[in-house]
Amino acid sequence: MAVFDLKNKACIVGVGTSEKFGFVVNKSPIMLQLEAFKAALEDAGLKREDIDGFATAHGAPTGVDYDAFAVQAGCNFRWVNQNWNHGRWAATSITFAAMAVCAGLCDYVAVCNTTLSARGYGRFLPRERFGGEGFRDAGGGHGETPYHGMDTPGSAVSMIARKYNLKYGATSEELGAVSVAFRKHASLNPMAIMRDRVTLEDYLNSRMISDPFHLLDYCLVNEGSTCLILTTADRAKNLRKPPAYIAGAQGIPASRNGYVIYARPGIGVSMTGEFDWQPEPQPVFGMAGVSQKDIDALYTYDSFSQNVYHTLERFGFCPPGEAHTWIQGGRIELGGELPMNTNGGLLSEGHYSGYNQIIEMVRQLRRECGERQVKDAEVLQWAASWGDSMVLTRG
């Protein structure tokens, strides 16, 4: 039995971003992070003196170390958490912060993330920081196997896509629905980097990078920063805007068969054909007291467009092998049965490790999204294909 029930005990009460998202912003990590932090404070109606907790997805050189941030922001922290976790653990990082405020370790936590590109400020940093992952033990951080000539995430994940297509008869035309939908959403988002709409023909005519992935199947490589502020439900009542309640959360399974990079179980890069995998119970639904039919919009880590397939199948929105047909006909677009990544996602708004999607969820629950607003949004889910997930509600 859990020591305490986390459901609806912690809230996201402030969200903010750097002043600009872009391919090249040419600002240091600390400058970008301070912009996002200031925006989140204003959003919540808090002062920097109120923030006594800090969590960051990763530190220097591409992020900001907790001690450097404390000095530059003029804060005094009682609790900090600094990880090295890309966007795979966006919900998990936020859950750590939620547990900290619920346990009384701090009152308000700023959860921060900064992204740099190798073309912008990142060009001043060591080259291996941007290109070395393929040389890690066990095949690299995304399933790369450099001894087979696959030393980039795209080449590795394209192997998953080929396996999926061959097994289930999926086509490029079907996968194009993801890029078309998310760019449509980005066209309604002033912060999005790529706002020009694309057609299926545009998608198919975009150059092939690693078969079957076209250019428009890849996320953006960009610069910018995000910040979310968390506190307890009791403290949230007196703040500027309605809170987004954390109704449910789950971490990433690390079992032999449960953790698969950029795929659902049974179809990972190094797996040998366990295609008959069936969806398993996902704790996030039980904790939140909801089911798939209650989710008004779904947000996922779309570093590659096909991640959408694996998220939908892993979390039981459709049966295994059916996502490629399930998403057709505008089903994942605004106005469809299950809108996804209404901000444009990593494919079009920008790659901010999924924290930008969670910021979008908060704004959707507050009814702040204008033309891209999901009607009557009450229950929203973040879910990544490897298991990381969180459900936010209006309470």
Question: What percent of the chain is modeled with pLDDT above 70?
Answer: 87
Cα separation of 244 and 233, whole Å? 9
Closest CA relative to residue 393, chosen from 288, 244, 249 = 244
Report if residue 129 sits inside a domain.
no
What phi and psi, each to the nearest 5 degrees, are found at residue 250? -150, 155
Report if residue 338 sits inside a domain.
yes
Give pLDDT, residue 303.
94
Q: Supply 202's token pair.
A: 């545009």
CB 102 within 8 A of CB 10: yes
- Per residue in 195-220, pLDDT (tens digit) is 999 999 999 999 999 999 999 999 99
Cα separation of 286 and 290, whole Å? 7
Q: How many residues does the chain have?
A: 395
CATH number, domain of 207, equals 3.40.47.10
Report if residue 375 sits inside a domain.
yes
Report if residue 159 sits inside a domain.
yes
Give pLDDT, residue 59.
85
Report if residue 104 sits inside a domain.
yes
Domain count, the chain: 1
Mean pLDDT of the chain: 90
Q: Supply 91's token pair.
A: 């919900």
Report if residue 185 sits inside a domain.
yes
Report if residue 3 sits inside a domain.
no
Q: In which domain, by residue range, is 111 found?
A: 10-121+134-393
Half-sphere exposure of 107 (CA within 13 A, CB side): 11
Give pLDDT, residue 1.
38
Measured CA distances, 391 to 35, 194, 308 (Å)? 27, 27, 17
Give pLDDT, residue 135.
53
Q: List the chain residues with pLDDT less than 70.
A: 1-4, 85-87, 118, 121-151, 256-259, 270-275
Report if residue 2 sits inside a domain.
no
